Chains A and B, each alone.
Chain A
């Protein structure tokens, strides 16, 4: 049988399995099987691609043995490293790992473009050349940008790096890179000197760094999602250059899905994507914070726990601090304890709780919390009025009423969880510090709020002991 026919059939099957797998991933019930379906598609495509050895160009034939060995070694190394690192990464560190893997994909797309451009022998026509350049540009930006995003989320680069006039510098850089790329494609017809092609890639990589450095950590999820869409587009474009429909379809599906996902995430934070990329969050409004009336009232963790045991409805608003303290498991133990006493417990998840939309759901799922007692913000915000107790654990900006009322606040306009409407609010917090955005939180000073100071995990243990002691003593 003709090898190229097998390859084509395998790619068709892979494209179908990718789309079907993604579709299954879009519902919680079928999601786990969805990734396996997509994984099967990948396996089929990669195995079939080894049949390429039967169809290599005349010029490459003498190098075939070396190339096959190189390919196998690269596959094993890349696969082995990523498999082990992906297996052992903590769930809290998931966003930066996604950024890292995504950057690698962008780099691979740029590498395909580079091989095409450095192949001086090949005959190039204009449209594929322009597409190669654009795909390489996007891929290279995604590579270096994702690496910066990874380093920032992983705490390897701290703070925000800004110089005045950065937007002008970035704009100049971008258009210079684009102009050089178009020169290579249109004027030099793909036969540009090697140094020029190399310079194009270096410029593109530097631009990715410049574009990402000024963006603060809180905005990184949107940026990672954007680079995910970028990589998809780059893969789609390079797929066109190679005449490979599987790459085109998979790349473009991810490109459009990723773009939509980016817009949804930005919307959840009440900001536009351009606002995330071009403005400096938290830079304004620091000076003009009004005085907040009232005082913070601490309460003992055990008392708070007992109070919840006798409540009829408790809503929990978890934040990233919960995951950092690794307190999800103890929290769920406490929840099961008071559920047995007939207390109705619900989890309220802000769209940007954690470090990515949906990240908190993953962290709670890790502790075994069933997803049907976890509610999205818009579904549960009306219920806080009826709740006896709302408990905020390791969250801050997502429950700050200033977002509703204080126009000078940098988080003004961001939708928040209405925890302040519950009869009693407990805030579990390590100390008296401010949130990720650096804004003071009025909620902590409200009359119906009590602060439970301490490490979230220890606090949960104290609550469990207090409730257990209560019921044990009664018999």
Chain B
């Protein structure tokens, strides 16, 4: 288990990182970025998997199963949707036909 202050350092630095990444983004990318960050928190599936593998009762197994199911949906759906959106951004010089 991480000690309290190390955790706070991680949270603080991560928060700054997120702020800096989004800070200077042109608004045309807001939707893809929202979708992209939606994908990134799909990492929750890993935590859900950990909870499920350590489950000791049926209640824990059921909830853990749901958690993995939902988390996997978040990660996979977020990826597909973001990739489809970003695929479309093309500059003039690559104009087809």
- Residue among A39, A60, A244 with max Cβ neighbours from chain B (10 Å): A39
Partner of B96, one of A116, A239, A368, A373: A368
Partner of A26, one of B22, B48, B55, B80: B22
Bound complex: CA A373 to CA B93 (Å): 12
Neighbouring A residues of B16 by C-beta, 8 Å:
256
Task: Kindly identify, within residues 31 to 49 of chain B, every residue whose CB is under 8 Å from any CB belonging to chain A.
Answer: 31-49
Task: Kindly identify, within residues 61 to 111 of chain A, every residue whose CB is under 8 Å from any CB belonging to chain B.
Answer: 63-64, 66-68, 70-71, 73-75, 77-83, 85-87, 89, 91, 94-95, 97-98, 100-102, 104-105, 107-109, 111
Flag if A100 contacts B49 (CB, 8 Å). no
Residue of A nearest to B10 (CB): A248
- Interface-forming stretch among A14-22, A296-304, A423-431? A14-22
Partner of A376, one of B28, B39, B70, B77: B28
Flag if A104 contacts B32 (CB, 8 Å). no
- Interface-forming stretch among A257-265, A270-278, A434-442? A257-265
Neighbouring B residues of A121 by C-beta, 8 Å:
56
Residue of A nearest to B66 (CB): A111
Flag if A89 contacts B7 (CB, 8 Å). no
Q: Is the interface of A mostly helix, strand, loop or mixed?
A: helix
Bound complex: CA A122 to CA B27 (Å): 47
Min distance, Cβ B59 to any Cβ of chain A, angstroms: 5
The number of residues on chain A lying at the interface, defined by a beta carbon within 8 Å of a beta carbon of chain B, is 126
Partner of A256, one of B18, B24, B65, B80: B18
Seen from chain B, the residues whose Cβ lies within 8 Å of a Cβ on chain A are 1-2, 4, 7, 10-11, 14-19, 21-57, 59-61, 63-92, 94-96
Flag if A111 contacts B37 (CB, 8 Å). no
Flag if A240 contacts B81 (CB, 8 Å). no
Q: Known contacts A244-B47, A245-B2; is A35 also within 8 Å of B90 by CB?
A: no
Q: Known contacts A26-B22, A64-B53, A74-B68; is A252 also within 8 Å of B14 by CB?
A: yes
Cβ of A202 under 8 Å from chain B: no
Q: Known contacts A38-B40, A98-B81, A250-B43; is A370 also within 8 Å of B90 by CB?
A: yes
Q: Known contacts A77-B69, A370-B91; is A112 also within 8 Å of B44 by CB?
A: yes
5 contacts between A and B (CB under 8 A): A56-B54, A78-B71, A95-B31, A109-B47, A121-B56
Partner of B47, one of A79, A238, A249: A238
Flag if B82 contacts A358 (CB, 8 Å). no
Neighbouring B residues of A82 by C-beta, 8 Å:
72-78, 80
Q: A71-B64, A255-B18, A257-B19 are in contact. List 16 more A-B contacts (CB 8 A).
A: A66-B61, A82-B73, A82-B80, A83-B76, A111-B67, A115-B55, A224-B34, A235-B41, A244-B46, A250-B41, A251-B43, A252-B14, A358-B32, A370-B95, A376-B26, A376-B27
Bound complex: CA A422 to CA B32 (Å): 31
Cβ of A389 under 8 Å from chain B: no
Flag if B53 contacts A256 (CB, 8 Å). no
Cβ of A396 under 8 Å from chain B: no
Q: Known contacts A98-B34, A246-B46, A370-B92; is A252 also within 8 Å of B53 by CB?
A: no
Task: Kindly identify, within residues 341 to 374 of chain A, every residue whose CB is under 8 Å from any CB belonging to chain B.
Answer: 349, 351, 354, 356-359, 361-362, 365-366, 368, 370-374
Partner of A86, one of B14, B48, B60, B84: B84
Bound complex: CA A249 to CA B37 (Å): 12
Partner of B91, one of A50, A351, A371: A371
Residue of A nearest to B85 (CB): A362
Residue of B nearest to A28 (CB): B89
Min distance, Cβ A300 to any Cβ of chain B, angstroms: 30
Bound complex: CA A356 to CA B33 (Å): 11
Bound complex: CA A74 to CA B32 (Å): 27
Flag if A32 contacts B86 (CB, 8 Å). yes
Min distance, Cβ A432 to any Cβ of chain B, angstroms: 31
Bound complex: CA A18 to CA B19 (Å): 14
Cβ of A45 under 8 Å from chain B: yes
